Chain A
């Protein structure tokens, strides 16, 4: 059983479009995250939610909007896509929001903006 799942795995779209990536975890964790991995493989945190509340919001363009309908889901919506948004996006979850909690990652979504 997949613990942290993301859909879609691949997303190819045109500049200016709006797209969403969905994430679900079945681990019963309270905290979920979104990370961006750029072409150089560098991972950077974007957002984190604990029990549907935003707790981390790094410097990310406001075209990116996370939405957490419940604690098992954290979706990422991106408006007006730009070429520089092309990357792999990882969702992750952890039991609590304590620093040091081990995070479990999803398989990633490769977004390509043409």
Chain B
């Protein structure tokens, strides 16, 4: 069975600094997708970044980048130049690429950006 683990329930970072959120997963699948979602206090779930497991290159979206280590089953999110608006819950999610549908979310990391 697939699992997604976010071992940091809470983190804080000073504005303009860099922070890394960790995510590990367990699967026997070879092809899959990984996502990071942001949930601000408004509760809206916002897609931050997506990674296909078959791609070796790490995905990047502006200030957000991932460090995808397939062998280690690790998918960390790096936020550079943190902004107050980055304060939110961040969820890591795993989706199978074939077979029966499986979309599994981690329990989230609460990130607070400090002024």
Interface residues of A (CB under 8 A from B): 40-45, 48, 55-56, 88, 90, 92, 99-100, 102-108, 110
Q: Are B107 and A90 in contact (CB under 8 A)?
A: no
Interface residues of B (CB under 8 A from A): 32-33, 35, 37, 42-47, 50, 52, 89, 91, 93, 95-99, 101, 103, 105, 107-108
Q: Select A107's contact among B35, B44, B89, beta carbons within 8 Å.
A: B44
Q: Which residue of B lies closest to A90 (CB)?
A: B45
- Output the least CB separation between A2 and chain B (Å): 10
Q: Are A108 and B107 in contact (CB under 8 A)?
A: no
- Output the least CB separation between A18 and chain B (Å): 24
Q: Are A107 and B42 in contact (CB under 8 A)?
A: yes
- Output the least CB separation between B21 and chain A (Å): 14
- Output the least CB separation between B40 and chain A (Å): 10
Q: Are A102 and B45 in contact (CB under 8 A)?
A: no
**Set of chain B residues within 8 Å of A92, measured between Cβ atoms:** 45
Q: Are B43 and A99 in contact (CB under 8 A)?
A: no
- Output the least CB separation between A41 and chain B (Å): 5
Contacts A41-B108, A42-B107, A45-B103; A100 near B43 (Cβ below 8 A): no
Q: Select A48's contact among B46, B50, B101, beta carbons within 8 Å.
A: B101
- Output the least CB separation between A102 and chain B (Å): 6
Report 11 cross-chain contacts, Cβ distance below 8 Å, ordered by A residue.
Answer: A41-B91, A41-B108, A42-B105, A43-B91, A44-B105, A99-B95, A99-B99, A100-B95, A105-B44, A106-B45, A108-B44
Q: Select A41's contact among B32, B97, B101, B107, beta carbons within 8 Å.
A: B107
In the bound complex, how far is the Cα of B45 from the Cα of A110, in angstroms? Answer: 14
Q: Are A99 and B98 in contact (CB under 8 A)?
A: yes
- Output the least CB separation between B31 and chain A (Å): 9
